[in-house]
Amino acid sequence: MLSENGRYRIPTTGPDPNPFVTVASRRPEVFAYGLRHPHRLTWDPVSKTMIVNDIGLHDWEEVDILTKGANYGYSEREGDEQVFIDKAGQTGSQLARPSLSRNEIY
């Protein structure tokens, strides 16, 4: 399938078609979803694996091995923690930060 602007092709047939080509209301270019802000992409030429740096919301950054059709969880998860939308996007560790007792001296 040729892209709308005619500048690239989207694999639609053969042994490894793009997973969202036939899903209604999805763009056929979608390969995986649930990434917040994929910043850098690279390929491992030996394993033919795509690796992506995903910029986090507050404290979390991710390096993901991209898998065809995968959901990486954002906006429900960031890293391995749940994101709490009603708490301005905080994650579990941000809601339960350790507190110091009055007897601790630094």
For strands 62-66 and 38-44, give the pairing: unpaired
Q: What is the pTM of this model?
A: 0.72
Summarised one tens digit per residue, pLDDT across range 14-54 is 888 899 888 888 888 898 999 999 999 999 999 989 999 99
Residues 93 and 10: their CA atoms lie apart, in Å, by 40
Which DSSP helix (H) or strand (E) runs through 51? strand 49-54
Q: Bigger pLDDT: 84 or 44?
A: 44
